[in-house]
């Protein structure tokens, strides 16, 4: 089963000074408020946060529902927006694969892949023995998911007490936090260039292809950064 | 619970889980020391950076009501706070929320 000691170590990462707890809570406060405006009840709002646990996907679902899109359209729109989770999984799970661990742990815990948990794991995996990294990861994922549920709950019940300026203030907090985390993680030529090119190419490609902008910027920017990094090494 | 909302949530979660699960299956055949892993790592960082830049410049949700100028000023000032606070994550984050709320109520 899950190693309790490493699980708790991962869970406690949410309480550190550089924890994403504040940013994540504020972000899901905004989502909770949005769900309420859409006509969701509290059970549906929590159900959505727990099952989806990906902010852009939830926003796309909300927008699609507002314009009365079909289920197939919602599926395709969300799948395209959240396709970024594929390279995130491939760039994280090889660091945690260990022959002594059962596969169900990996299949179950891939649900926790989201920007916050991914960045925490990427910054800390070297401190954890490889055999127990998956337990540490499950701890991080459980903690970030718990925070998201609390944020959704607060947003659902307290949104009527918050004015528009407060909601906008909460909404900027999340991208600023993740931008700082990405800059903080830029310690090699490849990562620094990937971040820089992603920031530049994302909005430019959006002007031509809003649906595919994130993926295209990721593939083009990431490939250039990879090639430049390899050229530098050689 | 309304059936339509439940179906929409289930479809959304399925579409989201698909990418995560396929990524995990692919990971089984990739070593962390391989060139392919390095390439995927660059892809992941570039994709995240693109997502964050898009969220700030072309936002969805309530942020769309804040002007471009106010968003840009808040992000640049927050990055300044990030660097002068020796890369602390908490100060710029809190600063961004407060300054955005204030800027938006006056401009």
Q: Taking the domains of chain A in order of start, what are their residue ranges? A: 4-174, 186-234
* Structural domains of chain B, count: 2
B48 and B86 belong to one structural domain: yes
B18 and B43 belong to one structural domain: no
Mean pLDDT score, A35-54: 89
- Which has the closest alpha carbon to B51: A88, A52, A30? A88
B43 and B86 belong to one structural domain: yes
A203 — contact with chain B (CB < 8 Å)?
Answer: yes
Count the Cβ atoms, other than its own, within 10 Å of residue A62: 20
Q: Could you tell me the pLDDT band of residue B3, with boundaries at 50, 70 and 90? A: low
CB B95 within 8 A of CB A173: no
B18 and B38 belong to one structural domain: no
Q: Tell me which chain B residue has its CA closest to the CA of residue A184.
A: B87
CB A88 within 8 A of CB B50: no
Please give the share of chain A, as a percent, with pLDDT higher than 90. Answer: 50
Tell me the pLDDT of chain A averaged across its residues.
Answer: 89
Q: What is the pLDDT of residues A137-166, one digit of tens each?
A: 999 999 999 999 999 999 999 888 888 888
A·B CB contacts under 8 A: 335
A53 — contact with chain B (CB < 8 Å)?
Answer: yes
B54 and B95 belong to one structural domain: yes
B55 and B24 belong to one structural domain: no
B22 and B74 belong to one structural domain: no
For residue B33, pLDDT beyond 60? yes
Mean pLDDT score, A209-215: 86
A54, A162, A169, B72, B75 from B68: Cα distances, Å: 25, 22, 14, 6, 11
Q: What is the pLDDT of residue B64?
A: 86
Q: Nearest 5 degrees, angle CA A173-CA A179-CA A185?
A: 135
Tell me the C-alpha distance between A73 and B11, whole Å.
10
Tell me the C-alpha distance between A158 and B51, whole Å.
28
Q: Spell out the residues 6+ positions from residue A140 whose beta carbon is closer than 8 angstroms to its own.
A: A10, A11, A13, A14, A112, A117, A120, A121
Q: Which two tokens stand for residue A160?
A: 């009527």
Q: Could you tell me the pLDDT band of residue A6, with boundaries at 50, 70 and 90? A: very high
B86: left (phi over 0), alpha (psi -120 to 50) or beta: left
Q: Which two tokens stand for residue B106?
A: 């006056």
Chain A: give the shortest CA distance to residue B24, in Å: 6
Q: What is the pLDDT of residues A24-33, one digit of tens each?
A: 888 888 888 8
For residue B1, pLDDT beyond 70? no
Q: Nearest 5 degrees, angle CA B90-CA A156-CA B18?
A: 80
Question: pLDDT: is A130 or B2 the higher one?
Answer: A130
Q: Tell me which chain B residue has its CA closest to the CA of residue A39.
A: B5
- Domain of residue B101, residue span: 32-106
Mean pLDDT score, A1-11: 90
Residues 88-147 of A with CB under 8 A from B: 88-95, 97, 106-107, 110-111, 113, 115, 118
For residue B24, pLDDT beyond 80? yes
Chain A: give the shortest CA distance to residue B107, in Å: 11
Verify whether the Cβ–Cβ distance B62 to A113 is below 8 Å. no
Helix, strand, coil abundance in chain B, percent, nearest 5: 80, 0, 20
Element (H, E) at A47: helix A42-52
B90 and B61 belong to one structural domain: yes
Tell me the C-alpha distance between A40 and A79, whole Å.
22
Chain A: give the shortest CA distance to residue B12, in Å: 6
Tell me the pLDDT of chain B averaged across its residues.
Answer: 89
Question: pLDDT: is A127 or B60 the higher one?
Answer: A127
Q: Taking the mean position of all CA atoms in its chain, how far away is CA B29?
A: 28
Tell me the C-alpha distance between B43 and A190, whole Å.
10
B51 and B94 belong to one structural domain: yes
Q: What is the pLDDT of residue A58?
A: 84
Question: pLDDT: is A20 or A200 the higher one?
Answer: A200
Tell me the C-alpha distance between A122 and A111, whole Å.
16
- Residues of chain A with C-beta less than 8 angstroms from the C-beta of B6: 44, 47
DSSP for A91-128, written as a single string: TTGGGT--TTS-HHHHHHHGGG-SHHHHHHHHHHGGGS
B52: left (phi over 0), alpha (psi -120 to 50) or beta: alpha
Q: Spell out the residues 6+ positions from residue B25 whose beta carbon is closer than 8 angstroms to its own.
A: none
B17 and B48 belong to one structural domain: no
B11 and B40 belong to one structural domain: no
Q: What is the pLDDT of residue B2?
A: 62
- Residues of chain B with C-beta less than 8 angstroms from the C-beta of A219: 43, 46
Tell me the C-alpha distance between B70 and A119, whole Å.
27
DSSP for B69-93, written as a single string: HHHHHHHHHHHHHHHHTTS-SHHHH
pTM of the model: 0.85
């Amino acid at each position: 089963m899950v190693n309790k000691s490493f699980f708790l170590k991962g869970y406690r990462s949410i309480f550190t000074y550089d924890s994403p707890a504040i940013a994540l809570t504020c972000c899901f406060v905004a989502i909770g408020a949005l769900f309420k405006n859409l006509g969701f009840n509290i059970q549906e709002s929590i159900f959505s946060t727990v099952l989806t646990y990906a902010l852009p996907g939830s926003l796309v679902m909300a927008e699609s529902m507002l314009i009365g899109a079909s289920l197939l359209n919602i599926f395709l729109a969300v799948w395209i927006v959240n396709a970024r989770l594929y390279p995130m999984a491939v760039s994280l799970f090889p660091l945690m694969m260990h022959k002594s661990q059962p596969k169900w742990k990996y299949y179950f815990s891939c649900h926790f892949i989201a920007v916050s948990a991914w960045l925490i794991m990427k910054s800390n995996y070297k401190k954890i023995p490889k055999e127990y990294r998956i337990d540490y990861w499950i701890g991080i994922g459980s903690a970030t998911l718990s925070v998201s549920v609390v944020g959704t709950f607060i947003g659902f019940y307290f949104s009527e007490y918050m004015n528009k300026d407060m909601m906008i203030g909460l909404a900027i907090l999340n991208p600023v936090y993740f931008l700082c985390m990405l800059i903080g993680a830029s310690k090699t030529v490849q990562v620094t260039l990937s971040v820089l090119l992603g920031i530049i190419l994302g909005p430019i490609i959006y002007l031509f292809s809003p649906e595919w902008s994130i993926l295209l910027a990721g593939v083009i920017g990431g490939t250039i950064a990879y090639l430049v990094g390899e050229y530098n090494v050689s | 619970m309304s059936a339509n909302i439940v179906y929409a949530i289930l479809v959304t979660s399925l579409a989201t889980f698909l990418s995560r699960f396929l990524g995990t299956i692919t990971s089984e055949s990739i070593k962390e020391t391989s060139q392919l892993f390095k390439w995927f790592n660059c892809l992941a960082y570039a994709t995240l950076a693109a997502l964050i830049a898009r969220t700030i410049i072309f936002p969805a949700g309530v942020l769309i009501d804040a002007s471009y100028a106010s968003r840009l000023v808040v992000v640049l000032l927050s990055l300044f706070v990030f660097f002068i606070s020796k890369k602390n994550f908490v100060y710029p984050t809190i600063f961004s929320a407060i300054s955005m709320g204030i800027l938006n109520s006056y401009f």
